[in-house]
């Protein structure tokens, strides 16, 4: 290769570029389209004689219409959630029965028979094992139902229609329309939602999508919302409509999360992440009947098990920490009760309590262990019977029993509402934080994305608590 010849070639190209003028790009593109048209003319034949029923466009007219688009969207979301809630109950209690009521005592007696010291036995079996068992029992059934249903919708082709419906809202908030897709992924798992933002080309809009993905209520948080809504909100209405009202409350929280996503996106795009909204083409693909079993299989392997495994990896050390802080004493007090009493004042301001705040701190690794941790800590603090020992997570047989423990811990309707709000508005779990760092490669934005929702949560719960105490 001769460098001089190469320079000559480039020189020549510069000269020729002058000669052929500005229209080169357009001429070339037109040339390609003309070629394509020629080829298609000779090879493709469409039989117009058979009347085609355009089912796709008929469906699209309805699901993307101004009148029905949003109601249908919420109806589908509601149905998916309802099926998840109802369907997960039975396998969840089955798993809890197996892992917590049967295997756990077995492990305990096994440990006792080989003479394992009490602290090792407590640390491993009451701490690590129970946390993992809880995560599996609480998280696996709803995920195994939610993800396949979501995947079926995805394969059917509904998601691009959601993006189409939400596009104008995202545009108004200065964000990318494809954020609707990453938001939907976030309903399953925020870490997955953050990875999915790679489909957004503009770095500015991608960053907005990453930071606000946490406002999609994820799988780890659905069970908390459902449990608390059922116990406290369902209880204030007649029992005939209580399950419907609890479902509405949960959907209300999810919609509130979407409202926060839009507001924060808007605020970001007006301040630190200024810029133009980029335009993009969204192709509405044809509806395709999903291949049912194949979809079930891939979504179980691809999503459910991977997300579950990640949760287990992070839950195990959290269980260990919970056991340790409840069993290590400084003076007469365990670290846990010391932390709870020192946070109670701040918790009261927010309409919460020290137990909830501590539970959220130790549950940073995995949101799904918040409720069992709260129960365990409440029993420890109030000294009522029901627990199995300090630092041991447990499950109560019924929602009523859970409600009784929580009420004994001083919970009111306000505590419940604020817990639901705080569950929506707090830092992402550690898996998501780590994923945000991997995707943005920026410590600054990772810290911002982690701290901002907590601050929002503090502000919102504080305001709600003050209003509540003034007026109700």
- Alpha carbons 145 and 406: distance in angstroms, whole number: 29
Cβ-based nearer residue to another protein, 184 or 402: 184
One residue of 195, 217, 355, 362 binding another protein per CB under 8 A: 195
In this structure, are residues 411 and 231 in contact, taking their beta carbons and an 8 Å threshold? no
Least Å from the CB of residue 97 to another protein: 32
Least Å from the CB of residue 339 to another protein: 41
Q: Which stretch binds another protein (CB under 8 A): 64-72, 165-173, 275-283, 395-403?
A: 275-283
In this structure, are residues 372 and 361 in contact, taking their beta carbons and an 8 Å threshold? no
Bin 115: left if φ > 0, else alpha if -120 < ψ < 50, else beta.
left
- Written as six digits, the tokens of 238 are 């007649």
One residue of 25, 66, 441, 444 binding another protein per CB under 8 A: 25
Cβ-based nearer residue to another protein, 197 or 432: 197
Does residue number 196 form part of the binding site for another protein (CB under 8 A)?
yes
What are the beta bridge partners of residue 329? 334
Which phi and psi angles does 409 have, rounded to 5°? Answer: -80, 10
- Alpha carbons 388 and 386: distance in angstroms, whole number: 7
Does residue number 112 form part of the binding site for another protein (CB under 8 A)?
no
Cβ-based nearer residue to another protein, 35 or 333: 35
Cβ-based nearer residue to another protein, 160 or 391: 160
Tell me the H-state helices in 173-221.
179-188, 190-196, 203-212
Long-range own/partner contacts, residues 233-240 (CB < 8 A, 24 or more apart)? 233/413, 233/416, 233/417, 235/403, 236/413
- Residue 101 DSSP symbol: I
Does residue number 194 form part of the binding site for another protein (CB under 8 A)?
no
Closest CA to 431 of 309, 346, 324: 309
Structure-token match 């908390």, residue found: 224
DSSP 275-315: -PPPP-----PPP----HHHHHHHIIIIIIIHHHHHHHHHH
Does residue number 275 form part of the binding site for another protein (CB under 8 A)?
no
- Written as six digits, the tokens of 439 are 């995707």
Does residue number 276 form part of the binding site for another protein (CB under 8 A)?
no
Sign of the four-CA dihedral 309, 315, 319, 320 = positive
- Written as six digits, the tokens of 451 are 């701290």
- Alpha carbons 351 and 373: distance in angstroms, whole number: 19
Does residue number 221 form part of the binding site for another protein (CB under 8 A)?
no
Least Å from the CB of residue 201 to another protein: 5
Does residue number 299 form part of the binding site for another protein (CB under 8 A)?
yes
Cβ-based nearer residue to another protein, 32 or 328: 32
Q: Which stretch binds another protein (CB under 8 A): 128-136, 262-270, 296-304, 463-471?
A: 296-304
Does residue number 151 form part of the binding site for another protein (CB under 8 A)?
yes
Q: Which stretch binds another protein (CB under 8 A): 66-74, 118-126, 220-228, 290-298?
A: 290-298
Does residue number 309 form part of the binding site for another protein (CB under 8 A)?
no
One residue of 104, 176, 204, 303 binding another protein per CB under 8 A: 303
Least Å from the CB of residue 293 to another protein: 12
Binders of another protein among 154-183, rule CB under 8 A? 154-157, 159-160, 163, 178, 181
- Alpha carbons 395 and 97: distance in angstroms, whole number: 9
Closest CA to 372 of 250, 217, 223, 190: 223
Size of the site for another protein (CB under 8 A): 69
Closest CA to 405 of 223, 231, 235: 231
Does residue number 297 form part of the binding site for another protein (CB under 8 A)?
yes
Binders of another protein among 36-55, rule CB under 8 A? 36-40, 42-48, 50, 52
One residue of 6, 62, 255, 349 binding another protein per CB under 8 A: 6
Structure-token match 């003309």, residue found: 34
Does residue number 5 form part of the binding site for another protein (CB under 8 A)?
yes
Least Å from the CB of residue 440 to another protein: 15
Least Å from the CB of residue 170 to another protein: 16
- Residue 98 DSSP symbol: I
Residue 434: strand, helix, or coil? helix
Cβ-based nearer residue to another protein, 47 or 117: 47
Cβ-based nearer residue to another protein, 196 or 358: 196
Closest CA to 265 of 343, 173, 403, 350: 173
Positions that interact with another protein (CB under 8 A):
1-3, 5-6, 8-10, 12-13, 16-17, 19-20, 24-25, 27-40, 42-48, 50, 52, 151, 154-157, 159-160, 163, 178, 181, 195-196, 198-199, 201, 281-283, 285-288, 290-291, 297-299, 301-303
């Amino acid at each position: 290769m001769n460098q001089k010849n190469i320079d000559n070639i480039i020189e020549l190209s510069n000269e020729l570029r002058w000669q052929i003028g500005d229209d080169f790009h357009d001429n070339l593109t037109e040339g390609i389209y003309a070629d394509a048209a020629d080829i298609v003319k000779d090879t493709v034949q469409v039989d117009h004689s058979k009347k085609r029923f355009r089912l796709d466009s008929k469906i699209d007219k309805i699901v993307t219409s101004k009148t029905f688009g949003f109601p249908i969207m919420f109806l589908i979301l509601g149905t998916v959630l309802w099926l998840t809630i109802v369907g997960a109950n039975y396998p969840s209690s089955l798993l809890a029965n197996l892992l917590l009521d049967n295997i756990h005592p077995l492990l305990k007696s096994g440990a006792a028979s080989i003479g394992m010291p009490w602290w090792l036995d407590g640390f491993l079996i009451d701490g690590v094992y129970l946390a993992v068992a809880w995560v599996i029992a609480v998280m696996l059934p709803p995920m195994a139902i939610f993800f396949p249903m979501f995947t079926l919708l995805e394969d059917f082709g509904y998601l691009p229609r959601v993006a189409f419906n939400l596009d104008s809202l995202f545009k108004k908030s200065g964000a990318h329309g494809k954020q609707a897709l990453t938001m939907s992924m976030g309903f399953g798992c925020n870490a997955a939602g953050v990875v999915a933002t790679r489909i957004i080309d503009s770095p500015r809009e991608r960053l907005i999508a990453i930071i606000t993905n946490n406002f999609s209520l994820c799988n780890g948080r659905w069970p908390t919302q459902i449990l608390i809504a059922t116990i406290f909100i369902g209880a204030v209405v007649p029992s005939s409509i209580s399950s419907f009202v609890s479902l509405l409350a949960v959907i209300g929280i999810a919609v509130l999360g979407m409202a926060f996503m839009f507001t924060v996106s808007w605020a970001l795009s007006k301040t630190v992440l200024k810029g133009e909204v980029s335009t993009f083409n969204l192709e509405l693909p044809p509806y395709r009947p999903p291949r049912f079993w194949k979809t079930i299989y891939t979504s179980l392997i691809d999503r459910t098990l991977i997300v579950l495994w990640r949760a287990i990896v992070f839950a195990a050390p959290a269980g260990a920490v919970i056991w340790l802080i409840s069993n290590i004493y400084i003076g007469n007090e365990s670290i846990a009760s010391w932390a709870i009493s020192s946070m109670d004042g701040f918790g009261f301001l927010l309409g919460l309590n020290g137990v909830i705040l501590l539970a959220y701190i130790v549950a940073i690794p995995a949101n799904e262990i918040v409720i069992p941790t709260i129960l365990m800590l409440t029993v420890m603090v109030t000294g009522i019977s029901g627990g199995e020992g300090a630092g041991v997570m447990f499950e109560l047989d019924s929602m009523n029993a859970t409600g009784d423990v929580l009420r004994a811990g001083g919970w009111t309707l306000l505590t419940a509402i604020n817990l639901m709000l705080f569950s929506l508005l707090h830092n992402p779990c550690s898996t998501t934080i780590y994923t945000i760092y991997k995707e943005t490669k920026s410590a600054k934005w990772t810290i911002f994305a982690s701290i901002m929702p907590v601050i929002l949560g503090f502000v919102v719960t504080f305001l709600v608590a003050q209003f509540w105490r003034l007026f109700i």
